[in-house]
Structure 1
Amino acid sequence: MTAFRAGMTRVLGLLMIVVSLALAAGCVLVFTKWLPNDVARYDDYRATHRCPAGSTPTAWWEDCLREVELTVVDTVVKTGGKSTEYRATVDGERFQGELAFGDPGPLLNTLRAGDRTVGTVWRGDIVALTKDGVRQKTSDEPRDEPQMIAAVGVGLGLLAVLGLVFGTVRLLAPRHLGRFTWKGSGKGLLVTSLVATFGVGLPAVWLGFPWQLVAPAIVAVVLGAGALLLNRTRASGPAMPGAG
């Protein structure tokens, strides 16, 4: 029975290592693809200009801001419950479809079917909707929020390290896990990593901190909290072999 449990522990450890490698790949993609592409897209959007007055678009994708007339077909404003949904279905000469929004105001919750609006188009996306001087950004408008993207990347990296360490211990020493169990320190380290990711990332977005500071801040929080957690676990005594 003990040999069987050790074998299952090794299998679980191997699975944890495989998952941690996938998380590590996600972390790399965040910092090499998602983050730089998002920053570059926002910089391009901020530097763009309106399309030349009187020009006729040759394609829907244009590297300039163009205004098009749109008619509201339907709107959905759903707040509360398990999910929220803010969208408008519009129809125009060159665009028919749904626009997603991050919140109901200041324009979406006032729109009614048949309303005539003006959509601002950039690179094939409607980035804003305007009616009677009231303008609201759509979810497709580039935003200057790289802090949360960096936080997600760091969070994936931390989870990858956590899975790799715990998986390796289970694979190499299945009968001597010590504190490297779910009850010993795994649960606390996992929660700490998630809380640090969002607890640092979101305020960094709200306060406009440089995204370059997000990664070291999250790592510092996790290292400090992790050291306290491991010391507390050590003081309470070693976990039973093979536990958790």
Structure 2
Amino acid sequence: MTGALWITAAVLLTALCYLLLAVLLPGDIERRRDYTAATACPTATAEQTVEDCLRTVPFTVEKTVLTGGKQDGYQARLQGSPFWNGTLRFGDAGPLLDKLTPGEPVTGLVWRGAVMRLERDGVRQSSVDEPRDEAQITAGVGTLAGLLAALALYLGALYLGAAQPTGRPGGTSPTWRSFGKPMALTVLLACAVTALPAFWLDLPWWTVPAVAVPLSALVGRLLHRAARQPVLS
């Protein structure tokens, strides 16, 4: 890749990092907090299309789709409610969707105009619309994008001739092969080994960049020093 392409990649990765960490992450956290804090709708109030409370609504299953493909995925088509009929999407077939048949009654939990989950005989399954506590994963991907943006910017500066000389007799400047590739793998592993345990242990999302960034910087310093060692004849 040329220097201009590396700089372009850095700009795109920076935009992705901003989108994930400054837009999507705060929005997901706030939506999850609102959903968790929501209470049941008063039974005396009339049903409305969009409500901030949780309303339990009876539905009838019209059709289910269990193909799992990218086009159709896992779906249940519902009817019988005053406002919220239509197609509901799921991440997988179980534990409830694959047991539903057309014409069966099912109970849905509605929040802000969307069906969050279905329930029948004590078995529940969340739809793709239900807020999830996955901030650690979003933080991991956002941190990865930011670190890769910094790496791409540095490589772009090297290829454009903006980097300083090594200052060592016989030394060489870092390249994609000697520094960029192992650094990219380091960043990927650093974000993965912090985001996944943070998600499994339900740690705060900020622990991901708090660990991944210093870890990547430390390993990057060692890789950078090794890549600039003088060439032995």
TM-score range, shorter chain: 0.7 to 0.9
Partner of 2:204: 210
Query: Are 2:178 and 1:184 equivalent residues in the alignment?
Result: yes
Partner of 1:16: 6
Q: CA deviation digits over 1:112-147, x for unaligned, max 9?
A: 222211111101121110112211111211122211
Q: State the AA in 2 paired with 1:17.
A: I
Partner AA of 1:184 in structure 2: S
Deviation track 1:10-39 (CA, whole Å, cap 9, x = no partner) reads xx2112112212221222232222111111
- 3-state SS, counterpart of residue 25 of structure 1: helix
Whether the 8 Å contact between 1:179 and 1:185 is mirrored in structure 2 is no
Instruction: Specify the code of the residue in structure 1 equivalent to 2:96.
Output: L
The equivalences for 1:1-244 within 5 A come to: 12-58=2-48, 60-78=49-67, 85-93=73-81, 94-172=83-161, 178-234=172-228, 237=231
What is the Cα deviation at residue 237 of structure 1? 4.2
The answer to whether the 8 Å contact 1:86/1:100 transfers is yes
Identical positions, percent: 41
Question: Is contact 2:174–2:228 with CA below 8 Å preserved after alignment?
Answer: no
SS at match of 1:143: coil
Aligned CA distance change for structure 1 residues 220 and 150 (closer, same or farther; 3 Å):
same
CA-based RMSD of the aligned residues comes to 2.8
- CA distance in structure 1 between the aligned counterparts of 2:231 and 2:61, rounded to whole angstroms: 65
Where 1:211 maps in the other structure, the secondary structure is coil
Which amino acid is 1:37 matched to? G
Q: From the superposition, tell whether residues 206 and 83 of structure 1 become closer, same or farther in structure 2 (CA, over 3 Å).
A: farther
Query: Contact 2:62/2:79 (CA < 8 Å) preserved in 1?
Result: yes
Deviation readout 1:72-122 (Å, 9 max, x if unpaired)? 23323346x999943322223323332222333221221122221111110
What is the SS of the residue equivalent to 1:49? coil
CA 1:119–1:82 in 2, change beyond 3 Å: closer, same or farther? closer
**1:203 and 1:37 mapped to 2: Cα distance?**
22
Q: Distance in 1 between matches of 2:25 and 2:77?
A: 30
Between 1:96-105 and 1:161-170, the stretch displaced more is 96-105
Equivalent position SS for 1:208: coil
User: In the superposition, relative to structure 1, how do residues 90 and 198 fare at CA in structure 2: closer, same or farther (>3 Å)?
Assistant: farther
Compare the two structures and name the one with the higher helix fraction: 1
Report the TM-score when normalising by structure 2: 0.84
Structure 1 residue matching 2:91: 3-state secondary structure:
coil
Ranges in structure 1 where 5+ consecutive residues have no aligned partner: 1-8, 239-244
- 5+ long unaligned stretches in structure 2: 167-171
CA distance in 1, matches of 2:129, 2:147: 30
Whichever residue aligns with residue 54 of structure 1, its letter is A
Q: Is the 8 A contact 2:84 2:114 kept in 1?
A: no
